[in-house]
Copies of this chain bind each other. A is one copy, B any other.
C-alpha cells in the first residue's frame, strides 16, 4: 500500500529556508553590527556552527567558544556585544534565547497539515470528527469519541470509547487513551504516552489483592504537553486532572486521583503517588518523587531526586531524601561530609565522656 500522506504533519518537514542578518535583526528588533547581507539557513551551537548557520551568545562563559566560532551570524546580548570573534554579522538583542524563538519558525517551516483519514484507520460507531482532522495509518478510535477541529492522530494511536479531544490537539505515534478521558485544546502528547490507565489500588481480601475498579476519568486541560512514554492513571472514584499550560516530560508517572495545577513543570522520570496535589506553577525536577495524599504548594520547587513525604509550603524549595527545605538539606549534607573527617577525634572525645 502506497501512501502519500502518512506522518506529514510531523514538525520539521519542509527543511530550512534562507534569512539575511538584516532580516533577522528586523525580526527580533535587534541592532545589526557587521554585514547585513550574510545569509543563514539553519541554527547551530557556537562550536558546531558553520558559515551558513546562525548561533547565539548569551553568557560570558561561552565567550571563548564565541571567539572561535565559524558561524555566519550570531544573536548576542548587549553586555557581550563587543566580545572578540570573527563572526560576520552580530545581532545585538537583550534576550538572545527569546529572539531565537522568533527566528526558528522562520528558518524551519513545519510541513503543511494535510487533513484526511487514512484508509487503514478504524473509527467506532457514533464517533464525531471535527473539521480538518488528520487520522494517520492504523489509528483506532472507539465508540462515541468526539474529536475537535484540526485534531491530529499520528499512526498507531488508539483512542478508547467516549474520549473527547479538543481542537488543535496533536497525538504523536502510538499514544493510547483509555475510555472516557477528556483532553483539551492545543495539547501535545508524545509517542507512547498512556493516558487514563487504571491506577494501582487493591484491597487485600480472601487471600488476594482485590482490584479497586477505576471509574474516574483522566482530564488533561488546554495547552498541556506530555512527554514520550509518560503514564497518567485515571481516577479511581474521583478524576485525575492536569491543569492548563502544565508541561510534563518523558517517563513521568502520575498516579490516580492526582491533581496538578496550571503552568507546572514536571521533569523526566518524576513519580507522583495517588491523590497528591501539585499546585499552580510548581516545578518538580527530574527523578523526584511524591508520596501519596500530600500537597506541593503554589510555586514550590522540588530538587532532582528529592523524595517528598509530606506537604511542601507554597513558594519553598525542598530537596533530598526525605525532602527538607533546600537550605537545611544542603547544610545537613555539608555537615555530614565534614563529620566524616572529624570522626576519629569525635569518637575519642565521646569515649572519654562515657568513661
Query: Which residue numbers of A lie inside 8 Å of B, CB to CB?
Result: 1-4, 6-8, 10-13, 42-45, 48, 97-98, 100-101, 104-105, 107-108, 111, 118-125, 136-138, 140-143, 154-156, 158, 160-162, 172-174, 176, 178-180, 188, 190-192, 194, 197-198, 200, 202-203, 205, 207-215, 223, 225, 227-229, 231, 233, 237-238, 245, 247, 249-251, 253, 255, 257, 263, 265, 267-269, 271, 273, 286-287, 289, 291, 304-305, 307, 309, 320-322, 324, 328, 331-340, 342-343, 345-350, 353-354
The docked-state distance in angstroms from the alpha carbon of A255 to that of B286 is 11
Contact present for A2 and B208 (CB under 8 Å):
no
Contact present for B225 and A211 (CB under 8 Å):
yes
Q: What is the count of identical protomers in the complex?
A: 3
Contact present for B304 and A304 (CB under 8 Å):
no
Listed by A's residue number, 18 A-B pairs whose Cβ atoms lie within 8 Å are A1-B122, A6-B140, A6-B142, A11-B214, A45-B237, A108-B213, A137-B140, A155-B158, A156-B174, A192-B231, A200-B227, A208-B245, A273-B304, A289-B304, A305-B307, A338-B347, A339-B339, A346-B346
Contact present for A202 and B265 (CB under 8 Å):
yes
Contact present for B200 and A173 (CB under 8 Å):
no
Contact present for A336 and B332 (CB under 8 Å):
yes
Considering residues A123, A227, A250, which has the most beta carbons from chain B within 10 angstroms of its beta carbon?
A250
The docked-state distance in angstroms from the alpha carbon of A188 to that of B223 is 32
Considering residues A111, A178, A354, which has the most beta carbons from chain B within 10 angstroms of its beta carbon?
A178
A340 touches which of B123, B331, B345 (Cβ 8 Å): B331
Contact present for A3 and B208 (CB under 8 Å):
no
A191 touches which of B13, B176, B191, B332 (Cβ 8 Å): B176
The docked-state distance in angstroms from the alpha carbon of A136 to that of B337 is 56
Give the chain B neighbours of A209 by CB distance below 8 A: 245, 247, 263, 265
Give the chain B neighbours of A200 by CB distance below 8 A: 227, 247, 249-250, 265, 267-268
**Known contacts A192-B229, A207-B263, then 9 further A-B pairs from the complex at CB < 8 Å, ordered by chain A residue:** A3-B123, A4-B124, A12-B179, A42-B215, A45-B238, A173-B176, A178-B191, A332-B336, A345-B354
